[in-house]
Amino acid sequence: MLTAETIAEARRAVRTARGQGRRVGLVPTMGALHEGHLSLMAAARAECEFVVVSIFVNPIQFGPNEDYQRYPRPIEQDLAACREAGVDLVFAPSAGEMYRQERLTSVVVRGMTEGLCGRQRPGHFEGVTTVVAKLFNILDPDAAYFGEKDAQQALVLRKMVVDLDFPIAMRFCPTVREADGLALSSRNAYLSADERERALCLSRGLEAGRRMIAEGRTEAAAIAAAMRRIIEAAEPEKIDYIEIVDPHTLGPVARVAGPVLMATAVRIGSTRLIDNILVDSQGNKIRMNDLFL
């Protein structure tokens, strides 16, 4: 496995692989790798002869009062996990390498970034789209792999790729969960035992919403209210949002008449957790890739 800390080294490694006719697959991550990340690597491995994982805790996507400083950075463990997963190149730059000068340029996707997580995290998606555009330019992948777990991020990045004509196939992989339903997240490491138990309210609330749709309920407000009751029963510190939106626009829907994204962000202790499920009008879970067939 190759590792690169500089942009020049990473470009060289990718150029060599391309010269050998290998298809390049990129899995962008912030490290603290878990089974969710490994599932993206496996998807990349299945389609590409050269798998690149980037590990970069991107400072410009964190707000001033967020967890940039305390975000876990177990780099040795992460490198071992990548080696085990058959990754070909890990690109792990410093913040100084990625942002060598004062940055005057941003990539902004309007319209899809003001709601949901964008409301409580102003500037977050601008940081995400800007760093992913940089990673795409540095690593020149044929395909890039993202998790449905961060649904808004995935849909916003897909819009960026369409609007700016990045020649990259976007692949979205299903959310990997613990046996009891909790979506895997690097931030789960912050949870105490009691908080870990209470964190189940996200997946339980979403599943209750899904069941209501499967039973034929269509009024989004009533479904969201039922989800809220379940989530509130776990006494979260704060509910940032519980929303039922159109997955193409991320705008709210009044009635469930087509595919909907049910999404929630909740603070448990000092940890902000997000989760979502994507369902059709019958309440069947569907894959994000299927939205764009």
Positions marked catalytic: 37
Q: Which of residues 181-210 bind ligand AMP (CB under 6 A)?
A: 183-186
Q: Contact between 277 and ligand AMP (CB under 6 A)? A: no
CB of residue 194 vs ligand AMP: minimum separation in angstroms? 22
**Comparison of 88 and 275: residue with beta carbon closer to ligand AMP:** 275
Q: Which of residues 154-173 bind ligand AMP (CB under 6 A)?
A: 173
Interacting stretch for ligand AMP, rule CB under 6 A, among 18-26, 46-54, 178-186, 250-258? 178-186
**Comparison of 47 and 232: residue with beta carbon closer to ligand AMP:** 47
Q: Contact between 175 and ligand AMP (CB under 6 A)? A: yes
Q: Contact between 36 and ligand AMP (CB under 6 A)? A: yes
Q: Contact between 79 and ligand AMP (CB under 6 A)? A: no
Q: Which of residues 93-132 bind ligand AMP (CB under 6 A)?
A: none
Interface residue with ligand AMP, options 4, 37, 85, 201 (CB under 6 A): 37
Q: Contact between 176 and ligand AMP (CB under 6 A)? A: yes
Opening angle at CA 279, ends 274 and 283, nearest 5: 120
Opening angle at CA 117, ends 111 and 122, nearest 5: 75
Interface residue with ligand AMP, options 4, 7, 14, 39 (CB under 6 A): 39
Site string for ligand AMP, 132-151 (x = CB under 6 A): --------------xx-xx-
CB of residue 184 vs ligand AMP: minimum separation in angstroms? 4
Q: Which of residues 215-254 bind ligand AMP (CB under 6 A)?
A: none
Binding site for ligand AMP (CB under 6 A): 29-30, 36-37, 39-40, 146-147, 149-150, 173, 175-176, 183-186
